Amino acid sequence: MAKRGHEPVRTCVACQQEGLKGTLVRVVRTPAGTAAVDPGGHAVGRGAYLHRDASCVETARKRHPPELWAELTPS
């Protein structure tokens, strides 16, 4: 019988609800001071997790500085 791996649980910074790491998006502040979406979840830097839900994105957008969202918005 194959052994199941443990999937980590993370907390969404917008709604404060827990979710499996694979269901959340990681936003990372790099050592250079820029922000980026980390699709793989392993980038170096300070990270925060966010549900892929529009209401969570909007809540996070209201709580965090506009400069952060400008860096994350694709050109």
Q: In order of start, what are the domains of the chain with their CATH numbers?
A: 9-72 (3.30.1230.10)
Q: pLDDT tens-digit profile of 32-41?
A: 888 888 988 8
Neighbouring C-alpha atoms within 13 Å toward the C-beta of 49:
18
* pTM of the shown model: 0.77
pLDDT in tens, 41-51: 888 888 999 99
**What percentage of the chain reaches a pLDDT higher than 70?**
89
Is the pLDDT score of 75 beyond 50?
Answer: no
Decide which of 4 and 20 is more confident. 20
Q: Where are the beta strands (DSSP E) in the chain?
A: 9-11, 18-20, 24-29, 35-38, 46-51
Provide the H-helix boundaries in the chain.
54-63, 66-72
The residue to which tokens 């969404």 are assigned: 12
Phi, psi (rounded to 5 degrees) for 23: -95, -5
